[in-house]
Amino acid sequence: MKADLLYEGKAKKVYQAAKQLGKLVLSYKDDATAFNGEKRASFAGKGHLNNEISSRIFEYLRERGIDSHFIEQLNETEQLVNKTEIIPLEVVVRNVAAGSITRRLGIEEKTNLYPPIVELYYKKDELGDPLINDEHAILLCNITPVELQEIKTKALQINNHLSELFTGLGVILADFKLEFGKIKDDIVLSDEISPDTCRLWDKETMNKLDKDVFRQGTGNIIEVYEEILHRLEAIV
Ligand code: TYD
């Protein structure tokens, strides 16, 4: 199914799909990193869990009219996706304050943020993925003002769908990060949506069911990712 390795990132490997120009195979790794790669570890089964979770979420979104690069899950750790021209932007949507916004702006954790806040980060490891504004994004990311508006509108639509999904699972979607790519002139959701890229809190206990248990060393990452997958399996 897969041919040459094109790229290896922190959490995934990207292969050219065999005999299918324009398609890629994403292979989810067991590695976890935090704080821009300063903290690293490997957890057996994490790649499988994120592949299952992200595949289900992209299918859920597709059924609601949100197209992504996702085509199909191939096996435990791999999925087939359409190749996109990556836009070097991390689009973060926040419903409840946590993480960097609490540190940067002094907003107390768990403060409700309504309407949701959309933030843009320039995806550039050497610079530590800095927070940028719209004009910076248009300058640095090879997108037009109209395309940026489309990205933000899509991010908020996705937030509506995901918030409804997770509410049904007894989970608060505090925040998450999206990436988009271009296929010809179309802007398409890409990368992954998983507990690596979302903050997910149990509604009853407020326990963290995401990568913060690794970032903060407060729990078992495999157990909490399994919890998210089990809840998703019940309805998606
Ligand atoms: P944020 O609070 O900005 O950063 P940090 O994790 O350093 O506190 O993160 C907001 C959300 O976006 C959170 O769910 C994690 C996700 N995210 C990523 O998936 N990758 C990233 O590189 C960043 C900065 C955030």
Residue 213: give its domain's CATH number. Answer: 3.30.470.20
**Domain membership flag for residue 233:** no
Pair (205, 136) in one structural domain? yes
- Confidence at residue 1, expressed as pLDDT on a 0 to 100 scale: 83
**Domain membership flag for residue 118:** yes
Pair (72, 129) in one structural domain? no
pLDDT band for 141, please (50, 70, 90 cuts). Answer: very high
Quick check: CB of 102 below 6 Å from ligand 1?
no
**Domain membership flag for residue 50:** yes
- Mean pLDDT of all residues in 2-31: 96
Protein residue with least CA distance to atom 18, ligand 1:
197
Q: Which atom of ligand 1 is nearest to the CA of 36?
A: 22
Helix 221-233 and helix 46-63: axis angle, to 10°? 30
User: In the chain, what percentage of residues exceed pLDDT 90?
Assistant: 97
- 205, burial (CB in 10 Å: exposed 0-12, middle 13-18, buried 19+): exposed
Protein residue with least CA distance to atom 4, ligand 1:
100
- Confidence at residue 37, expressed as pLDDT on a 0 to 100 scale: 87
Pair (193, 121) in one structural domain? yes
Residue 123 φ/ψ, nearest 5 degrees: -80, 95
Give the distance (Å) from ligand 1 centre to CA of residue 33.
12
**Domain membership flag for residue 204:** yes
Quick check: CB of 88 below 6 Å from ligand 1?
no
**Domain membership flag for residue 113:** yes
Of 50, 82, 114, which closes a domain? 82
- Mean pLDDT of all residues in 109-131: 97
217 Cβ contact list (under 8 Å, min separation 6):
none
Quick check: CB of 54 below 6 Å from ligand 1?
no
Pair (41, 94) in one structural domain? no
Of 82, 110, 131, which closes a domain? 82
CATH code, domain carrying 20? 3.30.200.20
Of 42, 61, 82, which closes a domain? 82
Quick check: CB of 25 below 6 Å from ligand 1?
no
**Domain membership flag for residue 49:** yes
Pair (164, 213) in one structural domain? yes
User: In the chain, what percentage of residues exceed pLDDT 70?
Assistant: 100
- Mean pLDDT of all residues in 153-164: 98
- Mean pLDDT of all residues in 24-33: 98
Pair (117, 136) in one structural domain? yes
Give the distance (Å) from ligand 1 centre to CA of residue 65.
26
**Domain membership flag for residue 68:** yes
Give the distance (Å) from ligand 1 centre to CA of residue 76.
25
Average pLDDT, the chain: 97
Model pLDDT for residues 62-95, shown as the tens digit of each residue: 999 999 999 999 999 999 999 999 999 999 999 9
Pair (147, 202) in one structural domain? yes
Asked if residue 36 has pLDDT above 90, the reply is no
Give the distance (Å) from ligand 1 centre to CA of residue 21.
32
pLDDT band for 236, please (50, 70, 90 cuts). Answer: confident
pLDDT band for 44, please (50, 70, 90 cuts). Answer: very high
Asked if residue 5 has pLDDT above 90, the reply is yes
Quick check: CB of 192 below 6 Å from ligand 1?
no
Residue to mutate, 12, 107, 111, 175, ligand 1, most ligand atoms under 8 Å from C-beta: 175
Pair (201, 114) in one structural domain? yes
Residues spanned by the domain of 6? 2-82
Give the distance (Å) from ligand 1 centre to CA of residue 197.
7
Pair (96, 201) in one structural domain? yes
Pair (71, 119) in one structural domain? no
- Confidence at residue 119, expressed as pLDDT on a 0 to 100 scale: 99
Pair (119, 136) in one structural domain? yes
Pair (32, 99) in one structural domain? no
When divided into structural domains, the chain yields a total of: 2
- Mean pLDDT of all residues in 154-180: 98
**Domain membership flag for residue 98:** yes
Give the distance (Å) from ligand 1 centre to CA of residue 184.
28
Give the distance (Å) from ligand 1 centre to CA of residue 177.
6
